[in-house]
Amino acid sequence: MATDTQLVIFDTTLRDGEQSPGCTMHHAEKLRFAHQLASLGVDIIEAGFAIASHGDFNSVHTIAREVSGPRIASLARCKREDIEAAARAVEPAAKNRIHVFLASSDLHLEAKLKITRAQALDNVATAVALARTFADDVEFSTEDGTRSDLNFLVEMVNVAVQAGATTINIPDTVGYTTPAEYKQLFETVRLRVPGSEKIIFSTHCHDDLGMAVANSLAGVEGGARQIECTINGIGERAGNAALEEIAAAIATRHDRYPYTTNLVMTELYPTSHMLGEIISFTCPPNKAVVGKNAFAHESGIHQHGVLSNPLTYEIMTPASVGFSGQNIVLGKHSGRKALEFRLKELGHTLSTEELNAVYHRFTELADRKKNIYDQDIVALLHAPTTEPLVTNVP
């Protein structure tokens, strides 16, 4: 339940995320990952699109039956067969939701659906009312909402609310909007829709222009209290807003985003890692929060600073997001302090003269070898050298 400061985290990794190329998951994988999402503390799991296939229906149904904690949702078009399939799929869940959507932009109505605005409004009213006969919790989404005529968008949202929708999602379906626009859109719709104070508004942002997370947070500033997102930001085209980035932004910049969630922050990295095991690719090494380089330091200046005080170059601790690996990476840019630190970890305390000699050998090796391993460092201790000591490198 959302309050003025409490946010609802709606994870759609198993639905929108899985729809992206290379992210298909089998039944057992979806169930395993749904259990992990429950451990992460998400409020809602959109488990799939029940009408899409027998496999998707079975996955949603199994997750609804076996995963406890989060509310379990299924997506449905504004069609009777979709809504009935979604209702059957989520029926076993202790808490469930039917998520109905219809395009609101003229581009989608004319080019894709080939219906008029009046027909669209009729479809919304009928579909949401039908969904409410199966579930008390019904979400309605205005597909391509950020490219819709504002007056018609308000009219469609009003129809959905009157028909019984309890959550209204205004998606940035193609990643087109900007933070200022998205914030204003929520402020305007909430102001113009009667009874809006009784429902929850939701963000759903894609990353086509690289602004999905920023737009989601701007939507919250505009009054949205649910954020739809995915682990590692997977999703159609450039992906969705990344759950871990949103969570870290709220936790780290609580002065700017004074909101709370039910997320267990230390489960962020394990959840990201599990997803990488299941689908066909892991997140890039420079991925914020959960990438393998997110807390890694190779530059000597950075290593010296972090070893002196982690706050010099880290705005959150690796442990705070569940990362427990080595964050000092030795390479050609590393300094004497980092090498000394790693040698001590390996059980070798050297005098200044000994360290200088080993550091000289280390820089020679690092110029020739991209990856320096612990066994390389230990071997340097015993390598013969006739080179002069190097004392002018930090």
The model's pLDDT over 345-364, given as tens digits with 9 standing for 90+, comes to 788 899 998 888 888 888 88
What's the pLDDT band for 384 if we cut at 50, 70, 90?
Answer: low
Nearest-CA neighbor of 73 among 93, 52, 56?
Answer: 93
Q: Check whether residue 192 and residue 92 sit in a common domain.
A: yes
What's the pLDDT band for 388 if we cut at 50, 70, 90?
Answer: very low
Q: Rounded to the nearest 5 degrees, what angle is found at the Cα of 93, between the Cα atoms of 91 and 95?
A: 110
The DSSP annotation for 156-208 comes to HHHHHHHHT-SEEEEEETTS---HHHHHHHHHHHHHHSTTGGGSEEEEEEB-T
Identify the pLDDT of residue 370: 79
Residues 252 and 241: beta-carbon distance below 8 Å: no
Q: Is the pLDDT of residue 99 over 80?
A: yes
What's the pLDDT band for 2 if we cut at 50, 70, 90?
Answer: low
User: CATH number, domain at 59?
Assistant: 3.20.20.70
Q: Check whether residue 163 and residue 251 sit in a common domain.
A: yes
Q: Check whether residue 344 and residue 266 sit in a common domain.
A: no
Q: Check whether residue 348 and residue 214 sit in a common domain.
A: no
Q: Check whether residue 64 and residue 166 sit in a common domain.
A: yes
Identify the pLDDT of residue 298: 66
Residue 294 lies in a domain: no
Q: Is the pLDDT of residue 391 over 50?
A: no
Identify the pLDDT of residue 152: 98
Identify the pLDDT of residue 373: 78
Q: What is the mean pLDDT of residues 10-31?
A: 96
Identify the pLDDT of residue 87: 98
Q: Is the pLDDT of residue 389 over 50?
A: no
Q: Is the pLDDT of residue 280 over 90?
A: no
Q: Is the pLDDT of residue 261 over 70?
A: yes
User: How far is the C-alpha of 311 from the C-alpha of 309, rounded, in Å?
Assistant: 5
Q: Which residues contact 39 (CB under 8 A, 6 or more apart)?
A: 264, 267, 271
Residue position matching structure tokens 């222009």:
209
Residue 390 lies in a domain: no
Q: Check whether residue 355 and residue 233 sit in a common domain.
A: no
Residue 269 lies in a domain: yes
Q: Is the pLDDT of residue 78 over 60?
A: yes
Residue 353 lies in a domain: yes
What's the pLDDT band for 15 if we cut at 50, 70, 90?
Answer: very high
Strands (E) across the chain are located at 8-11, 44-48, 71-77, 96-103, 138-143, 167-172, 200-205, 226-229
Residues 185 and 154: beta-carbon distance below 8 Å: no
Q: Which residues contact 142 (CB under 8 A, 6 or more apart)?
A: 101, 102, 103, 104, 148, 153, 156, 157, 168, 169, 170, 171
Identify the pLDDT of residue 184: 98
Q: Check whether residue 210 and residue 313 sit in a common domain.
A: no
Residues 2 and 8: beta-carbon distance below 8 Å: yes
Q: How many domains does the chain have?
A: 2
**Burial (CB count within 10 angstroms: exposed 0-12, middle 13-18, buried 19+), residue 78:** buried
Identify the pLDDT of residue 386: 46
Radius of gyration of the chain (CA): 25
Q: Is the pLDDT of residue 98 over 50?
A: yes
> How much is the mean pLDDT over the chain?
92
Q: Check whether residue 272 and residue 351 sit in a common domain.
A: no
Q: Check whether residue 320 and residue 270 sit in a common domain.
A: no
In whole angstroms, how far apart are CA 207 and each of 141, 157, 320? 18, 24, 26
Residue 352 lies in a domain: yes
* Of 181-185, 206-210, 239-243, 367-371, minimum mean pLDDT range: 367-371
Domain of 249 in residue numbering reads as 8-278
The model's pLDDT over 28-51, given as tens digits with 9 standing for 90+, comes to 999 999 999 999 999 999 999 999
The model's pLDDT over 284-342, given as tens digits with 9 standing for 90+, comes to 989 999 988 888 766 777 777 777 787 887 889 889 999 886 677 777 788 888 888 88
Q: Is the pLDDT of residue 10 over 60?
A: yes
**CB atoms < 10 A from the CB of 14, how many?**
28
Q: Check whether residue 14 and residue 73 sit in a common domain.
A: yes
Residue 182 lies in a domain: yes
Residue 287 lies in a domain: no
